[in-house]
Amino acid sequence: MMEVLAALAVVAAASGGPTSGVQGGPRVQPEARKLLADMVKAYRSLRSVQLETTYTGNPGGFTKPQRSTLTMRRPNRLLYEIWQGVPGVSATSCMRYQCGGKMLFIYNEAERYYTEERAPRDLKGIRLSGAGIEYAAMSGTDPFAGIEKQVRSARIEGMAEVEGAPADVVLLDTGTDQRTGEARFFISRADRLIRRFSFESVPIGEPPKAPVRERLNPDDPPEQELRQLPVRFGYETKVTVNAKIPDTVFAWTAPQDALLFKPLEHMLSPDPIHHRSRYTIVGKDGKRQKPLTYSDLIKKAKEQKRKR
């Protein structure tokens, strides 16, 4: 099953990966377990939803998303856009996932290309990069299944106000021997959906020196430096539940500067040739002509050479 923090790749990497329970067994408060289960159930029951998310904090040297929007209408209509900073450039780049029911399109603004494929029957078949806990629950996964193996402890920390509305705060201790780790979910009392998330992690003591390895991306900090960095990362989400969302929101229009990307194996497949529509060649007199073959072209070239 999916790790609680694996849905947020930045957080999972910064926290040092999966954690084991404390000695003597994990401590998961029954009230916290029920609240998390109610939250997952609430996301699964949504007919439609619009999420507008703003990210804050420092993810410990990793690229931090700046904002994202997710619009969903069951069974499989979807528009998900996430904006991230481009390393070394003071600009943002967008990844877009768009499904109008029949086809799924994925657009990479940084690379200026998009892909297309047949749309899955439901959200479970659509994988989104960085969509997190909320989308995992919507698509049928329980991110908190087997929570005893994922966290040291889980408890309800209290109540907080988010945009003037009460929310219950669930605290998950995801620390390890090398780092602390505290993840907080601010769950609305009105609809049991997440309104705020925060994660904090700092190193404990002096970590052992990591072997020097070549960095694949020169913009990434050295591994040893990365392990030393504290992490304070979070987001807030504005939620619109079960709104009437028209089909036009999910209708795909290819960006003017984007090219359709097709994998090499697809281009080499004989299927596109077999299913290609028939065509005819018409001369200046309007009569059909026989399509030219390679041999015909060679023959005409020799005739032209003789005339010269």
Q: Could you tell me whether strands 182-188 and 65-73 are parallel, antiparallel, or unpaired per DSSP bridges?
A: unpaired
**Token pair for residue 72?**
């969903």
Specify the pTM.
0.74
Residue 7 has pLDDT above 60, yes or no: no
Report pLDDT for 14: 37
| Mean local confidence (pLDDT), 243-250 | 96
Strongest mean pLDDT among 37-41, 142-146, 293-297 = 37-41
Contact between 98 and 107 under an 8 Å Cβ cutoff? The reply is yes
pLDDT in tens, 284-295: 666 776 766 767
Report pLDDT for 99: 98
Alpha helices (H) along the chain? 9-14, 30-44, 132-138, 223-228, 264-268, 271-274, 294-307
Residue 6 has pLDDT above 80, yes or no: no
The class level of CATH for 9-259 reads mainly beta
Report the chain's terminal Cα–Cα distance, integer Å.
Answer: 75
Cα–Cα distance measured from residue 237 to residue 1, given in angstroms and rounded to the nearest whole number: 25
Residue 224 has pLDDT above 70, yes or no: no
Q: What angle do CA 20, 24, 25 make, to 5 degrees?
A: 50
Residue 221 has pLDDT above 80, yes or no: no
Contact between 62 and 84 under an 8 Å Cβ cutoff? The reply is no
Phi-psi region of 60 (alpha: psi -120 to 50; beta: other; left: phi over 0): left
